């Protein structure tokens, strides 16, 4: 839900709008229950957006005797949206009290209690004033409605509501009586990728060490020299700690000269072949994610080597020439429409992405893959969930941007699930291209996109 909220903001659906909708939806359910319980209502609110939803609800409860008890001080309200709704209550002189001692609430006096202390994401231990407030609610022997989730859900101290009014979708762990309230988040806000999906990849831990954020092995090059270097540099810019390129001698010097940040493992000869498999087995064991395909060419020796390498790869991203091998695929594959036809034997309708969803989804399901289909609207699916990405521009038809995407995907795959990695990578790669386009129009090249990746990842 935090990711969806972030994506809504990116698409222009502001948190204040969603809070207003949540408040109205909450008030509707409160009215229905207050008709039975009585009209004297206590709202016990925290300082975050959960409390903010309840502040917004008060304005929709005319005719009821409502008092809102803020747990703590109003100057400590944590979000702009919650502060704005509290400010409205102040200006219009609604009944409100800032609480430093829960005994001042006297909750048994009320007919109905609204629990709006905490939303999702709370961790043990809950202590202090909030813990005392939860105890006061549970001991008041009055009907309780929780906002979005019971405060403290998943911890050792949680509210026990008669009803939970949850927003947009049910949350994990909810039980008992639940109402799922629509707050105006359209299906498209869940379908299209945004900054929230980058958040789901996760940040580096302050305690992490070299390699903890991803060791990426790129196996590529030979007939073509620049592609694996682009992939490896993109992986580093996307947050991987280490990027190693295993490439034939014919390409190794070019790759090594691309950047001193790359580790290059030279393979004898001018193309990948079965004689390299023993070397690659050791490298694969020492790297968390393998990227295969860019610049390899289609020499029969190379196909034989891939046939031995693919089965021993754990996390793998397959792109470019490795998609043309005719071998069984695994992990994340990143074809464009033409490559998809060759690997699936299915010709996609186009260019409207809507007609492509079902065949791509079916192929991913049947082959246990995550497919990142590149296009004007990228489609990403694991066979169950389908997501879209609208970032990117026609300037990105320049050579190498697909290699960059593979590197970003690998870096994210080192830290999260294959579907989340592919969704976030599609968004970041396209957004980086859009940042370049703003400066260079159709003069962009793939290395420009790499340099914009850190900026594109900023939330």
Give domain status of residue 230, yes or no: yes
Q: State the pLDDT at residue 210.
A: 77
CA atoms within 13 A on the CB side of 169: 11
Domain that holds residue 143: 2-185
Residue 321 shares a structural domain with residue 355: yes
**pLDDT tens column, 309-349:** 999 999 999 999 999 999 999 999 999 999 999 999 999 99
Q: State the pLDDT at residue 205.
A: 73
Q: State the pLDDT at residue 212.
A: 77
pTM: 0.93
Q: State the pLDDT at residue 434.
A: 98
SS3 assignment, position 331? coil
**pLDDT tens column, 45-60:** 999 999 999 999 999 9
pLDDT at 351 over 90: no
Residue 225 shares a structural domain with residue 82: no
Residue 150 shares a structural domain with residue 262: no
CATH of the domain at 262: 3.40.1190.20
Report the number of distinct structural domains present in the chain: 2
Question: Cα separation of 165 and 174, whole Å?
Answer: 10
Q: Is residue 261 within 8 Å of 293, Cβ to Cβ?
A: no
**pLDDT tens column, 422-447:** 999 999 999 999 999 999 999 999 99
- Give the residue from 166, 185, 204 where a domain finishes: 185
Average pLDDT score over residue span 346-356: 93
pLDDT at 211 over 80: no
Residue 125 shares a structural domain with residue 222: no
pLDDT at 204 over 80: no
Residues 6+ apart with CB under 8 A from 369: 329, 330, 331, 332, 333, 363, 382, 383
Q: Grade residue 213 by pLDDT with cuts at 50, 70 and 90.
A: confident
- Give the residue from 126, 158, 185 where a domain finishes: 185
Mean pLDDT of the chain: 96
């Amino acid at each position: 839900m935090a990711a969806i909220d972030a994506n809504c903001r990116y698409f222009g659906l502001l948190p204040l709008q969603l809070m207003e909708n949540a408040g109205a939806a909450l008030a509707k359910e409160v009215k229905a229950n207050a008709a039975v319980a009585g009209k004297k209502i206590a709202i016990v609110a925290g300082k975050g957006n959960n409390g903010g939803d309840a502040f917004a609800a008060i304005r929709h409860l005319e005719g009821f005797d409502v008092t809102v008890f803020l747990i703590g001080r109003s100057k400590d309200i944590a979000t702009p949206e919650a502060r704005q709704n509290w400010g409205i209550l102040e200006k219009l002189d609604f009944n409100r009290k800032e609480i430093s001692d829960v005994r001042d609430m006297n909750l048994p006096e009320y007919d109905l209690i609204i629990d709006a202390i905490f939303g999702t994401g709370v961790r043990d231990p809950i202590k202090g004033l909030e813990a005392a407030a939860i105890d006061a609610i549970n001991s008041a022997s009055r009907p309780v409605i929780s906002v979005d989730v019971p405060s403290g859900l998943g911890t050792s101290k949680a509210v026990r509501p008669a009803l939970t009014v949850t927003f947009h979708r049910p949350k994990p762990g909810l039980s008992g009586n639940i109402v799922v309230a629509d707050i105006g988040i359209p299906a498209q806000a869940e379908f299209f990728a945004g900054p929230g999906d980058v958040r789901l990849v996760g940040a580096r831990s302050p305690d992490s060490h070299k390699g903890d954020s991803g060791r990426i092995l790129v196996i590529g090059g030979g007939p073509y020299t620049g592609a694996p270097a682009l992939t490896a540099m993109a992986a580093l810019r996307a947050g991987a700690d280490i990027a190693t390129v295993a490439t034939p001698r014919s390409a190794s010097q070019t790759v090594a000269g691309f950047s001193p940040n790359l580790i290059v493992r030279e393979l004898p000869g001018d193309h990948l072949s079965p004689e390299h498999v023993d070397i690659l087995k050791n490298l694969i064991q020492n790297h968390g994610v393998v990227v295969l395909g860019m610049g390899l060419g289609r020499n029969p020796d190379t196909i034989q080597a891939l046939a031995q390498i693919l089965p021993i790869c754990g996390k793998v991203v397959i792109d470019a020439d490795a998609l043309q091998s005719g071998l069984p695929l695994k992990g994340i594959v990143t074809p464009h429409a033409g490559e998809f036809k060759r690997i699936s034997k299915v010709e996609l309708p186009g260019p409207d992405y809507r007609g492509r969803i079902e065949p791509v989804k079916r192929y991913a399901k049947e082959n246990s893959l995550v497919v990142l289909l590149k296009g004007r609207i990228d489609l990403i699916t694991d066979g169950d969930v389908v997501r879209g990405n609208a970032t990117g521009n026609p300037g990105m038809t320049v050579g190498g941007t697909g290699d960059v995407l593979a590197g970003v995907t690998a870096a994210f795959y080192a830290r999260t699930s294959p579907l989340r990695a592919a969704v976030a990578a599609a968004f970041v790669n396209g957004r980086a291209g859009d940042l370049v386009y703003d400066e260079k129009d159709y003069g962009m090249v793939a290395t420009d996109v790499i340099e914009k990746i850190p900026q594109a990842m900023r939330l």
